[in-house]
A and B are shown apart, each in its own frame.
Chain A
Amino acid sequence: MVDILVVTHTQDAASRNTGEVLGAARRLADETRGVVKAAVLGGGAKEAASVLFAGGADHVVWVEHPLLADPQADAIVAALTQVVPQTGAQVVLLADDSCGREIAPRLAHRLAAGLATEAVSVTAEAEAVVFRRHLYGGRCLAELIATRFPVIGTVKLRSVDPVAERVGYWGRETHLSVALEASLVRTRVVQRVAEEVRGVKLENARVIVSGGRGLKGPEPFQHLQDLAQVLKGAVGATRAAIDAGWVPVSWQVGQTGKTVRPDLYIAVGISGAIQHLAGMSASKTIVAINTDPDAPIFKVAHLGVVGDFKAILPPFTAKVKALAES
């Protein structure tokens, strides 16, 4: 019987990311006849509870404290160090997002617990919990076995499906208090700058048109924008394009950027470096457009065009538009 604690924050409780973590937790609980508890840091409103129960939680634990109102890492780590033992969960799961990738290791250290990050599956065996994750930029899949508990895990985004919505399901709710001192907060957010997103968000897009070093500058990204607009998708980019300053960092798909799993990924002027593939190789259909027939991207693409994107994209966009209208 493996009980799982899913960690989320009020602002994130109803998100797709939390739904994915709950999906992993629910499946593990069902395998072992365990219970899924969702700890919501920062307290919350009834709307979050219904989404969490529908998404797989048996029990919602509200953890309220003024220092938890913002997702501040020091406060969250300190709070969870108290919350985890109190809930008695064997497995603690967080989303592998900008918050979880910092929180999970620090929490594991405080609790002297094992740690498995970026898991694409979490299953049970006899007396153990098995985490599977990619290594070497996606070239390998590793199995990590936890036999001591609690164990902390982060769930790789866009790799685990949420469960089918359990409509009308309602479970238990409890409130947990934590003791936190202001002096434990050592980093401060001075300013938040939200990025203006026109259209669909990159990490949720079903179609992505992405550009790399082969674009040779920022202006050609307009071709990709035009295509993305017709396809109702988003525009992504590689580390090379970001480091050259052509596009914002938030457009980056890859090992240190976003992980995406669209139905269609069109890679334009992208060589196919391992660090990029790590972020998009799970895309359902991959199309590559590149002048170099030996580019590694053609080894992972389903469809390829060897040629100059400047000559190919405009007629492609026009044809796609025409097909959509017919």
Chain B
Amino acid sequence: MNIVVCVKQIIDPEIPAEQFTLDPGSKRQVRGGLSLVISAYDQNALEVALQLREKVGGKITALSLGDPEAQGAVKSAMGMGVDAGVLVSDPALAGSDAFGVAHVLARALQKIGVPDLILTGCVSGDTGHKMVAPLLAEELGLAYLSFVSRIEVRDDKVIARRIVEDGYEVVEASPPLVASILSDDSNVPRYSKLKDIMAAARKTVPVWKAADLGVSMAQVGPGGQRLQVRDVAIVQRDSRCELVSGETAVEQAERLALRLRELKVL
């Protein structure tokens, strides 16, 4: 089963509030000296791919769209054991909305050769959007499995578990298909082996531009955005935490209860 996993390089999302700043022009987060990481959710998708290759064989390719530095995310995926990687990077593609991103990824997938399975993380690790995966399925006209885990291949069908509000569903579809992966205890990403990291460092990752893919330029970049992003503002939080004191845990516990009663919360 040949698999392509779409990965995104992002600014580490767990930085303290003081380090988070926005660029007033682009309205995006300022990178500054902050470290870049591969989105944790994409790592879950990579883990699913690696588990499937262990069971049924096949080739795994990591695909990323981003700055030239996003090569780091592709190499990181290869360090986990993925067979190959591709980066799409072109200044003309910066500022694309989810429709533009899905369009570019679809063209890249067609150039790679549409595989049996296309996996993504279920949410973008920085923006929090959950749009690219279903849009990608539409671009390629493929079946789509949303927010799934525990993927298995049986009798040429893909079977997975999809979490819903009241429990879960076992769902089935025929490849080729797109699946967005929800993290759970079955897909905790493995640690990379040093030999794989070193092998990845030695490999070259091809970098494709918009022109290499036949991208429709009207759909990408700031000009392709369907909605205008008028303003992005940091949410100010009134952060005054009242610490409950006490000589012993029992004292703290009782004071907490009384304080909540005082505040009419209890």
Question: Using a CB–CB distance below 8 Å, which chain A residues touch chain B?
Answer: 73-74, 97-98, 101-102, 105-106, 108-110, 113-118, 130-131, 134-148, 151, 186-195, 197, 203, 231, 239, 242-245, 249-250, 255-256, 263-264, 273-275, 278, 281, 284-285, 287-288, 296, 298-308, 311-316, 319-320, 323-324
Contacts and interface: CB of A to CB of B under 8 A. Distances in A.
A278 B177 CA distance: 30
A300 B239 CA distance: 6
Contacts of B258: 319, 323
A145 B227 contact: yes
B166 interface: yes
Given A144-B229, A242-B185, A323-B261, A203 B252 contact: no
Given A109-B135, A140-B233, A319 B128 contact: no
Contacts of B167: 192-195, 250
Nearest to B130: A101
A67 B14 CA distance: 44
Nearest to B15: A274
Given A137-B128, A191-B170, A142 B231 contact: yes
B260 interface: yes
B114 interface: no
Contacts of B20: 136, 139
Nearest to A125: B230
Q: Which of B128, B167, B170 has the most CB of A within 10 A?
A: B128
B182 A256 contact: yes
B71 interface: no
Given A142-B231, A319-B254, A320-B257, A256 B237 contact: no
B238 to A, nearest CB: 9
Contacts of A189: 169-172
A116 B250 CA distance: 48
B190 interface: no
A57 B237 CA distance: 35
Contacts of A249: 163, 168, 182, 184
A298 B241 contact: yes
B234 A195 contact: no
Interface residues of B, number: 80
A138 B261 contact: no
Contacts of B170: 189-193
Interface in B126-171: 126-131, 134-135, 137-139, 143-147, 159, 162-171
Interface of B: 13-14, 16-17, 20, 22, 27, 29, 41, 98-99, 122-123, 126-131, 134-135, 137-139, 143-147, 159, 162-174, 177, 182-185, 188, 226-235, 237, 239-244, 249-250, 252-254, 256-261, 263, 265-266
B249 A147 contact: no
A239 B183 contact: yes
B235 A191 contact: no
A203 B165 contact: yes
B252 A273 contact: no
A113 B226 contact: yes
Question: What is the predominant secondary structure among interface residues of chain A facing chain B?
Answer: mixed
Given A136-B126, A193-B169, A187 B143 contact: yes
A27 B177 CA distance: 39
Contact of A144 (B29, B135, B228, B263): B228
Label chain B's interface by main secondary structure.
mixed
A148 B128 contact: no
Contacts of B29: 136
A115 B227 contact: yes
Contacts of A190: 159, 169-172
A285 B265 contact: yes
Nearest to B146: A102
Contact of A145 (B228, B243, B254, B261): B228
Per CB-CB distance, the 4 closest pairs between chain A and chain B, nearest first, are A311-B249, A245-B185, A186-B143, A114-B226
B232 A256 contact: no
Given A142-B232, A308-B249, A194 B166 contact: yes
A294 B183 CA distance: 27
A143 B243 CA distance: 35
For A115, A139, A141, A273, the residue with the greatest tally of chain B CB atoms inside 10 Å of its CB is: A139
B134 to A, nearest CB: 4
Contacts of A74: 143
A324 B265 CA distance: 12
Given A136-B13, A194-B167, A319-B257, A98 B232 contact: no
A98 B128 contact: no
Nearest to B240: A302
A186 B253 contact: no
Contact of B241 (A140, A273, A304): A304
A271 to B, nearest CB: 9
Given A106-B134, A187-B173, A192-B169, A256 B183 contact: yes
A273 B14 contact: yes
